[in-house]
Structure 1
Amino acid sequence: MGSDVAERLASVRARVASACARAGRPVESVTLVAVSKLKPAALIREAYAAGQRDFGENYAQELRDKAVELADLEGLRWHAIGPLQTNKVKYVAKVASTFHALERLEVARELSKRREGLAPLPCYIEVNVGGEATKSGLEPSALPDFLAQVRELPGLRLVGLMSLPPPTDDEARARGYFQALRELGQRHALTELSMGTTHDFELAIEAGATLVRVGTAIFGERT
């Protein structure tokens, strides 16, 4: 029995387009990343067949394994979207087209070292806009120093900011978090914003997201 990945993907794309229209933005201004963590390669193949090219993985070793298993899919772009330990950098550095969760200088240095001879890796800096003690990400006040140090490293290209704000059903609160990230990006000349998930990607687009990370709405609940 086939899954309904193609149907779900079409529905999410329609919602992305509607959110772009409400915000007066071209639909091309938003990249949809299908978050495939803990999902089998077969489902990624279904999404690929339906035209999806950007996929997000949270775990470095799972990303490494899937990149090998799906190496025959031309033009597939892997986004490493989870926090990274220094000893796992090697799995991401060679296969990821983008890294979304840069927040530690030692990880930046290791990535830089392992990208030698390759095109610079586009990176988003993760910011903890909700000030949650349990969440990873830099405090906004730590951003200027971090930027200055990372910008000196070869092999990395800082393109924007990423955040995973506290989940909330209060739309005004959610918009506030996204707005805060956008303003922070503007202040530091970082125009790309990786924000918004299945729960709130339409609000994120209306607030200026250039990339949304959607898993459950495309692949279904994770077990």
Structure 2
Amino acid sequence: MSHADATVADVAARLAAVRERIAAAVARRGDGPAVRLVGVSKRQPLTAIENAAAAGLQDFGENYAQELRDKQQAHPHAPWRWHFIGALQSNKVRLVVGCALVHTIDRPKLLPAIEHHAAEHGHVQDVLVQVNVAGEVGKAGIAPHELPALLDRFADLPHVRCRGLMLIPPEASPEATRPHFRALRHLAEAQAATSRPGVVLEELSMGMSADFEVAIEEGATLVRVGTAIFGPRPSSRSDPHDDTG
């Protein structure tokens, strides 16, 4: 079925199925944080996003800064929340400041640019720090041992606030990703023991269409799901974060 043919009912059925899987994973996990579903809408037409919003989805994740800007401009008064979940370049920071949450802060040099643009708009920008828990060569994310120093930097950034951590695990079976999700949770718990201005480690963005249930069992508060909601997307361009949903 093409995107043009997909109706609100079609998307609502897919959303209901994903939410059932989320609820089952939460039940298996037991007591823990609430889980928020972020629909990965990169390269999806506005009609698909509108249909998902009509079916009750409130959070949408975009991978490309210019696409995020264009979609925000097309719906400037939309009641839903935009998330930026792609690789962030310093010269594109101005395009993402103002969204609900930037998930992919993976190096210190991004922070002054975010502070500058957020201050210009009188805005406090919420962000997550992306961690390369597995130490994969060439993959985005700060090394775990570098995380404390990066978190310390937020004390000098009154217009940027760290709300938690984000992870893209190595490509593997869902169960094989579990140790990486668990490691991120343990890392967040360890760093939360140190009080830092501008840092509240309450969010864990981890889990995608293939493995979000395992991520929830290990403490995810945000899961990024695209294909299970919208179906396959066109692969017209290469993206190192193309596995975010």
Q: Which interval holds the TM-score relative to the shorter structure? A: over 0.9
Alpha carbons 1:41, 1:70 under 8 Å: kept = no
CA distance in structure 2 between the aligned counterparts of 1:66 and 1:136, rounded to whole angstroms: 25
Equivalent position to 1:202, from 203, 208, 213 = 213
Equivalent residue letter for 2:217: E
Q: Which residue pairs with 2:180 in the alignment? A: 177
Q: Which residue pairs with 2:45 in the alignment? A: 40
Alpha carbons 1:105, 1:150 under 8 Å: kept = no
CA distance in structure 2 between the aligned counterparts of 1:207 and 1:113, rounded to whole angstroms: 35
The two structures, once aligned, show a CA RMSD in angstroms of: 1.4
Alpha carbons 1:129, 1:140 under 8 Å: kept = yes
CA distance in structure 2 between the aligned counterparts of 1:184 and 1:84, rounded to whole angstroms: 23
Q: Tell me by how many angstroms 1:160 deviates.
A: 0.5
TM-score with structure 2 setting the length: 0.86
Q: Tell me by how many angstroms 1:170 deviates.
A: 5.7
CA distance in structure 1 between the aligned counterparts of 2:158 and 2:77, rounded to whole angstroms: 30
Q: Percent identity?
A: 48
- Per-residue CA deviation, residues 87-124 of structure 1 (Å, 9 max, x unaligned), is 10111013x11110011222111111111143311111
CA distance in structure 2 between the aligned counterparts of 1:59 and 1:91, rounded to whole angstroms: 10
CA distance in structure 1 between the aligned counterparts of 2:231 and 2:31, rounded to whole angstroms: 28
Q: Tell me by how many angstroms 1:71 deviates.
A: 2.2
Equivalent position to 1:24, from 9, 20, 30 = 30
Q: Tell me by how many angstroms 1:164 deviates.
A: 0.2
Equivalent position to 1:55, from 57, 60, 78 = 60
- Per-residue CA deviation, residues 73-97 of structure 1 (Å, 9 max, x unaligned), is 2x21000011211110111013x11
Q: Which residue pairs with 1:6 in the alignment? A: 12
Q: Which residue pairs with 2:165 in the alignment? A: 161
- Unaligned 5+ runs, structure 2: 193-200, 235-245
Alpha carbons 2:106, 2:142 under 8 Å: kept = yes
Q: Which residue pairs with 2:232 in the alignment? A: 221
Between Structure 1 and Structure 2, how many residues are aligned? 219
3-state SS of the aligned residue for 1:78?
Answer: strand
Superposition misfits of 4+ residues, deviation over 6 angstroms: none
CA distance in structure 1 between the aligned counterparts of 2:150 and 2:90, rounded to whole angstroms: 17
Equivalent residue letter for 1:127: V
